[in-house]
Amino acid sequence: MVMLENKVAVVTGSSRGIGKAIAERYATRGAHVVVNYTSHKAAAEAIVRSVEDRKGQAIAVQADVSKVDEVHCLFETALQHFGRIDIVVVNAGLELTGLPVTDVTEAQFDRLFNTNTKGAFFTMQAAARHVADGGRIIYIGSSTTGYPRAGYAIHGGSKMAPLYLVQVLAQEVGPRGITVNAILPTATAGAGLHTHVTEDAPIRKFMAEFSPMGRMGTPEDVANVAEFFASDLASFVSGQHLLVTGGGLA
């Protein structure tokens, strides 16, 4: 079993979905967790209680990652409370699909790119500045970046630049023993667009036919990989983009 005893993890966008699964998994493994949220305060506080029930320590911190000053406040609060940061999971993001390029508005573009691209960049920048030597930076992207599809331009496009940053940052912080990796999940039941997916939803039928394993992903599937990347087992794995798709292309 991977142990993260007394490690401090900042997980952005962790009031629900994949971020929630990762925060709770890290707590189960002994880590202290900074639960970040933008607007779902009650959900974030519920996760703090869940972490405490696992005998861990946690705080909930409101911060909109699309605003650089709030990213700085997130990291400052984490450092003030726990004294160090060992793991940063860059998970916060927005999704907008089914929209042809010709229909995208400037407001829609700015909203997604401000969070998914700008927010990810400056969160990883802050992580590079503040993560302790030997630490971990993990970006949660999307498998759609490797599988272009009609209607996904703004969604997949906004998640492309952070993948390049992962590889660059891995080189820049590698001398400090810090690893930087990306996890690219497939359509995930209980997260993002599929937070409330029903058993008879078309996406389930599509994934049953498309995926060799015949199902959608789950937040726990992603948490499994995030646990590995955060551990000593992954100390020589860096600059990588790992698909979590059950053998499917996306």
Q: Which domains does the chain have, with CATH numbers?
A: 8-244 (3.40.50.720)
32 pLDDT higher than 70 = yes
Residues in the chain: 250
18 pLDDT higher than 70 = yes
Question: Model confidence over 54-73: pLDDT tens digits?
Answer: 778 999 999 999 999 999 99
Residue whose C-alpha is closest to residue 30's, from 221, 238, 231:
231
Residue whose C-alpha is closest to residue 139's, from 54, 22, 249, 41:
22
213 CB contacts (<8 Å, ≥6 apart)?
246, 247, 248
Confidence class for position 160, pLDDT limits 50, 70, 90? very high
What pLDDT score was predicted for residue 121? Answer: 98
Confidence class for position 128, pLDDT limits 50, 70, 90? very high
Q: State the CB neighbour count (10 A cutoff) for residue 104.
A: 15
Residue whose C-alpha is closest to residue 140's, from 33, 20, 2, 3:
20
Confidence class for position 217, pLDDT limits 50, 70, 90? confident
Low-confidence winner among 31-35, 178-182, 194-198 (lowest mean pLDDT): 194-198
199 pLDDT higher than 90 = no
Average pLDDT over residues 32-49: 95
12 pLDDT higher than 80 = yes
* Alpha helices (H) in the chain, listed in sequence order: 17-28, 41-53, 68-82, 106-113, 120-130, 153-158, 160-173, 202-210, 219-230
